Amino acid sequence: MSTLAGKTILMSGGSRGIGLAIALRAAADGANIAMLAKTDTPHPKLEGTVHTAAEQIRAAGGQALPIVGDVRDDDDITEAVLKTQGEFGGIDIVINNASVIDLSRSLDLGAKKYDLMQDVNVRGTFMLSRAAVPILKDAENPHILSLSPPLNPTPKWLGAHTGYTLAKFGMTMVTLGLAAEFARDGIAANTLWPRTTIATAAVQNLLGGDRVMAASRTPDIYADAAYAVLLKPAAEYTGQTLIVEDVLEADGVTDFSGYAAVPGTPDDRLFPDIFLD
C-alpha cells in the first residue's frame, strides 16, 4: 500500500473546510503541506487561519508550511513555490483549492465579484499550477488536483449563475489543458467534485444555511477521495473530471453513511451538488 509519507503538497487556501480536510488526510501519512492562504488573522464569520491549519496539520502527523499570500498575486505564487521547494526539497502535488463562490444572477453580480471569481478560480489555478510545473517534472508521481466540476454546459447550469459557472468551468478547462500539455512529462492533472453538497462554511453562509448543511456530507468524503486520486499512477490517471463518490466506489467503498453530516440521514435525502445532472 503506497502512502503520501514524505510527499510535498502545495495547496491554495486550506485554512478551513474541504482544503483543510484534504491536508489533514495527507498529514496522517506524514506528508509535507505548504498552504498559500490569505487568512493571517481570524475572519469575523469564518473560523480558521493559515496558522491554525498548520497547527492541526502538525498535530495530525504532517509537516506544515503556512504561507500568507494571495493566489491572485504572481509574486506571492513565485514565493510560495520557492519557499515550498526550499523547505521540503521539491513539490509532488499541487491542489487548487482556493475558490470564490457567488451564485448571484447576472444582473445582480457586482463587477468586482465577477473579477474576483475569475482571478482566484481560473487565473489562480493556471498560475499556481504553471509555477510549480518545472518542479513537478522532477517528482516521482506528480499530481495537480483542482476542486472543480465536470464540464456540463447545459442551459440549466450556464444560466443558473453565469459568472460562477464560468469561473468553475474555467478551473476545469485549465486543469484539462495542463493534463494534455504535460502528459509527456508524466504530470497528472485531474478535477474532483462531489455528488452532494459538503457541510462547509460556504454552504452554511451561501447555499442554504442549516437545512442544506443537514442534508450534506462531511468534508471527509472529499478528503478520502482526493487521497485516493493522489496515490494513483500519474502517467495513467490524468485528464479526468472525477466525482468523489465514483472514485471511492472504484476503490471498493460502497457505504457512504458514515459521511453524513447528520448521522442517519439516508442518501436519498442528501442535497445534490450543483453542476451535476
Q: From the candidates 164, 222, 227, 259, give the one annotated as an active-site residue.
A: 164
For β-strands 93-96 and 8-12, DSSP reports them as parallel
CA distance 126 to 177: 10
CA distance 97 to 145: 8
Q: Please confirm, yes or no, whether 164 is among the known catalytic residues.
A: yes
Amino acid at position 104, single letter:
S
Contact yes or no for 144/175 (Cβ under 8 A) = yes
Question: How far is CA 163 from each of CA 12, 80, 197, 249, rounded to the nearest angstrom?
Answer: 21, 28, 20, 32
CA distance 197 to 162: 19
CA distance 250 to 263: 24
Backbone phi, then psi, for 8, in 5-degree steps?
A: -115, 125
Amino acid at position 171, single letter:
M
Contact yes or no for 135/52 (Cβ under 8 A) = no
CA distance 211 to 214: 5
CA distance 146 to 171: 7
The set of catalytic residues is 164
